[in-house]
């Protein structure tokens, strides 16, 4: 049992560290990270952060672009709340030392798909890494923040785990596996912030990091929180196609700066047939479906993304990380096209939160990709994701501090009980089930869906659930087992939501319901 802190933050990415830094102004904060402190999605973000900073741009334009991309499913109040706070978030990051690119003394702004203006601040093509570094540096220097890497959270501690049982649903921290020792610790806290990232690893091809197994979403669901819009799974149109290199994203900004998509067999610039006005700058769902259609129609392995018509120095200056990576693979993007395929990229649904980042469960706040705040709707607009992390991380911290005196001190909590389990002698079961989930999710619950395919996925999930629960009940927890359990839970939530939505809207495109309903309605699941 650990207790020399006031507040627990689960996750060390942009949302978690933003919350931790704001909370640490007054309280002692413990940050838990699965694997390394830089293992989350934040460090992988290439593009940048969207904010209204240009003279010709307005909040109203950014709000409009976000609502259009989100196919009307966004919550207007949330969209306004986040976008109006974006310039402040950028100022705060500059204070923390993030070296955003500048041009003639002003911030250099790039443009990405779905945006009507240049409004993306960036650090070359590795913004996320610069942000992660600055936040970590500030957190490490703060005496009120303790960071514990190598901790895989298993479940939220609720009233059910009190020494004196309570059914109130209050959250008092989390049980976490110490990956080095194999021991399970109870990290008890008066308030908990969930910032555990998305569920991208449910899919065979994903740009998400290895640890994006839906842990936060699954834990909150099991504890009794509602989950919403999990069918809205974003696929990034342009992931490098290379059998040796997994999950290397080619940022949206390549298209923003003039990159064009071609069918390698016909030589045609095919976006002219799918979205003749916006072409390669159409929102991600449209571009991903277009690439998927070309690949299926012509039996291709990939399509070509070509920016070689731009000046070589311009390309190298704007995309140094990508240029260098591709050169190492024998591709010179200044003279050759890049082979790309769509890949799962972002979880737009998640744990329901309000504008204070509160979940349904008292004592639990949440921010970032594990949430459904109403910002993204049916499709996330490029570079709004890091922005959401900063705004809601800050909102969670401010809300917790404002109501601190009303929060009860944690009651005595039962330690983790491992008395009835043994070490596994069947690790192959985990690997087999993990591979199976990712494959059927890709084939049956991908970019284009049908009811029959979704029902097949639901049947597979039912079969696996009893097998995984049985295994989980018998053997000591390991990170792989915890992730498998959460991955399966996340897959179940995605498929359940997808079957409920009998229309095509944004990222949910089904051949059985091609029309879009006149009124946009969230898919909200209530815990059983």
Q: pLDDT digits over 314-340, tens only?
A: 999 999 989 999 999 999 999 999 999
Average pLDDT over residues 2-7: 80
Averaged pLDDT score across all residues of the chain: 93
Structure token digits, residue 137: 């540096």
Residue 355 confidence (pLDDT) above 90: yes
Mean pLDDT, rounded, for 362-374: 98
Helix (H) or strand (E) holding 175: strand 171-178
Beta strands in 296-400 (DSSP E): 303-306, 338-347, 350-352, 364-366, 371-372
Locate 415 and state its tokens.
Answer: 């330690």
Please tell me the pTM assigned to this model. Answer: 0.91
Dihedral-angle region of residue 377 (phi above 0 means left; psi in -120 to 50 means alpha; beta otherwise): left
CA separation for the pair 182, 4 (Å, rounded): 22
Spatial strand order in the sheet of 338-347: 233-240, 338-347, 303-306, 260-262
Separation of alpha carbons 443 and 309, rounded Å = 35
pLDDT per residue as tens digits for the range 118-170: 999 999 878 889 999 999 999 999 999 999 999 999 999 999 999 898 888 89
pLDDT > 50? residue 1: no
What gap in Å lies between CA 316 and CA 502, rounded to an integer?
A: 45
Residue with tokens 């240049």, as numbered in its chain: 118
Q: Please choose, from the candidates 252, 193, 184, the residue with its C-alpha nearest in 3D space to the C-alpha of residue 45.
A: 252
Burial track 318-351 (b if 16+ CB lie within 10 A, e otherwise): bbeebbebbeeeebebbeebbbbbbbbbbbbbbb
Which residues are CB-contacts of 406 (< 8 A; sequence separation ≥ 6)? none
Looking at residue 285, its pLDDT comes to 81
Asked if residue 133 lies in contact with residue 111, where contact means CB atoms within 8 angstroms, the answer is: no
2 pLDDT tier (thresholds 50, 70, 90): low
Q: Between vectors from CA 464 to CA 459 and to CA 467, what angle results, nearest 5°? A: 140
Beta bridge partners of 158: 171
User: DSSP character for 345?
Assistant: E
d(CA 390, CA 325) in angstroms, rounded, equals 29
Q: How close are the terminal C-alpha atoms of the chain, in Å?
A: 30
Model confidence pLDDT, tens digit, residues 242-278 = 877 767 888 878 998 999 999 999 999 999 999 999 9
Residues annotated as part of the active site: 284
pLDDT at position 70: 95
Q: Is 179 exposed, middle or buried (0-12, 13-18, 19+ CB in 10 A)?
A: middle
**CA–CA dist 443, 26 (Å, integer):** 49
How confident is the model over 164-194, as pLDDT tens digits?
A: 988 888 999 999 999 999 999 999 999 999 9
């Amino acid at each position: 049992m650990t207790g020399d802190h006031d507040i627990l933050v689960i996750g060390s990415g942009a949302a978690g560290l933003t919350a931790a830094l704001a909370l640490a102004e007054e309280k002692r904060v413990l940050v838990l990270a699965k694997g390394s402190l830089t293992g989350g999605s934040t460090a992988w973000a290439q593009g940048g952060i969207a904010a209204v900073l240009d003279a010709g741009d307005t909040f109203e334009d950014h709000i409009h672009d976000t609502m259009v991309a989100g196919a009307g499913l966004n919550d207007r109040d949330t969209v306004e709340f986040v976008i109006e706070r974006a310039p402040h978030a950028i100022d705060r990051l500059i204070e923390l030392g993030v070296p955003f690119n500048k041009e003639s003394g002003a911030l250099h702004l790039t443009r990405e798909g779905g945006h009507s203006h240049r409004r993306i601040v960036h650090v070359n093509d590795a913004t996320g890494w610069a942000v992660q570094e600055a936040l970590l540096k500030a957190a490490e220097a703060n005496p009120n923040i303790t960071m514990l890497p190598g901790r895989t959270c298993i479940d939220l501690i609720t009233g059910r785990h009190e020494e004196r049982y309570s059914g109130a649903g209050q959250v008092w921290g989390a049980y976490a596996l110490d990956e080095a020792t194999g021991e399970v610790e109870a990290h008890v806290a008066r308030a908990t912030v969930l910032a555990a990232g998305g569920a991208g690893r449910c899919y065979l091809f994903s740009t998400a990091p290895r640890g994006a197994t839906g842990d936060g979403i699954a834990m909150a669901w099991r504890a009794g929180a509602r989950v919403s819009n999990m069918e809205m799974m974003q696929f990034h149109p342009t992931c490098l196609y290379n059998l040796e290199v997994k999950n290397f994203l080619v940022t949206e900004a390549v298209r923003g700066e003039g990159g064009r998509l071609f069918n390698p067999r016909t030589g045609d610039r095919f976006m002219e047939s799918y979205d003749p006005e916006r072409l390669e700058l159409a929102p991600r769902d449209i571009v991903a479906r277009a690439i998927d259609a070309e690949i299926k129609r012509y039996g291709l392995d990939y399509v070509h993304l070509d920016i070689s018509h731009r000046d070589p120095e311009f390309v190298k200056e704007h995309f140094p990380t990508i240029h260098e990576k591709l050169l190492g693979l024998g591709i010179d993007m200044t003279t050759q096209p890049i082979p790309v395929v769509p890949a799962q990229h972002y979880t737009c649904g998640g744990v329901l939160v309000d504008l204070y980042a509160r979940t349904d469960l008292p004592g639990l706040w949440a921010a970032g990709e594990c949430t459904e705040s109403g910002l993204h709707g049916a499709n996330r607009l490029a570079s709004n994701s890091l922005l959401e992390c900063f705004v809601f991380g800050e909102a969670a911290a401010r809300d917790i501090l404002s109501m601190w005196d009303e929060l009860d001190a944690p009651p005595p909590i039962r330690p983790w009980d491992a008395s009835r389990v043994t070490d596994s002698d069947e690790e192959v079961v985990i690997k087999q089930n993990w591979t199976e989930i990712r494959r059927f999710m890709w084939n049956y619950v991908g970019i284009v869906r049908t009811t029959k395919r979704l029902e097949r996925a639901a049947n597979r999930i039912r079969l696996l659930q009893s097998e995984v629960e049985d295994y989980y009940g018998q053997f000591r927890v390991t990170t792989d087992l915890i992730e498998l359990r959460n991955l399966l839970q996340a897959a179940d939530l995605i498929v359940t939501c997808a079957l409920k939505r009998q229309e095509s809207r944004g990222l949910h495109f089904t051949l059985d319901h091609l029309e879009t309903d006149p009124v946009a309605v969230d898919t909200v699941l209530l815990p059983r």
